[in-house]
């Protein structure tokens, strides 16, 4: 089972190694937008939207990796002063009864919108924007799948009694 958990980790590590470059790309594109607008008086809605797409992709696709490295937001009401065994139980409960069901619900409720968007190859958000809203909406189920894969990897380790 540890091999399965490691393989699931590698999925999110691989995705994170790719999407981390979007942070640099966003900065460079945004810098180009500002220079273009204020120095040369040129502007492009599609280029502006590209920053939105990169931002969405970076955060949605790196969420599983964030869970892997334990940098997600945690409400420490009970967790901070809990014993290691109690933390393990809280984590197991959280994965099984909070995280996994919420990801399944999010896929279930977002899927019709994603499917319909692909069916019509939904166009730009703004006139002159990127004609790929269907790709942007596809980030929602991708986010859910990556977070669930990482949750499963962590759950495997928790149930085996290994530290995460």
Quote the number of domains for the chain. Answer: 1
Residue that has been written with the tokens 């968007």 in this structure? 117
**Long-range contacts, 120-127 (Cβ 8 Å, 24+):** 124/45, 124/46, 124/49, 125/49, 125/52, 126/45, 126/49, 127/45
Question: How far is 29 from 93, CA to CA, in rounded Å?
Answer: 42
Question: How far is 26 from 96, CA to CA, in rounded Å?
Answer: 35
Give the helix/strand (H/E) hosting 27.
helix 21-35
Domain ranges, residue 51: 1-160
**Averaged over 19-24, what is the pLDDT?**
98
Residues 52-110 have pLDDT tens digits of 999 999 999 999 999 999 998 877 787 888 999 999 999 999 999 999 999 999 999 99
Residue that has been written with the tokens 């393990």 in this structure? 88
Question: How far is 13 from 2, CA to CA, in rounded Å?
Answer: 16
Residue that has been written with the tokens 């009401």 in this structure? 77
Of how many residues is the chain composed? 164
Residues 103-147 have pLDDT tens digits of 999 999 999 999 999 999 999 988 999 999 999 999 999 999 999
């Amino acid at each position: 089972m540890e091999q399965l958990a490691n393989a699931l980790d590698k999925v999110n590590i691989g995705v994170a190694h790719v999407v981390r470059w979007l942070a640099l790309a966003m900065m460079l594109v945004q810098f180009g937008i500002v220079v273009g607008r204020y120095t040369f008086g040129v502007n492009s809605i599609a280029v502006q939207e590209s920053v939105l797409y990169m931002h969405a992709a970076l955060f949605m696709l790196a969420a599983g990796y964030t869970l892997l490295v334990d940098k997600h937001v945690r409400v420490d009401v009970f967790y901070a002063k809990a014993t290691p065994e109690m933390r393990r139980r809280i984590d197991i409960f959280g994965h099984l009864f909070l995280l996994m069901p919420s990801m399944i619900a999010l896929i279930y409720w977002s899927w019709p919108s994603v499917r319909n968007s692909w069916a019509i190859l939904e166009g730009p958000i703004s006139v002159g924007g990127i004609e790929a809203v269907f790709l942007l909406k596809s980030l929602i189920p991708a986010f859910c799948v990556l977070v669930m894969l990482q949750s499963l990897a962590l759950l495997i380790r928790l149930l085996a009694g290994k530290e995460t």
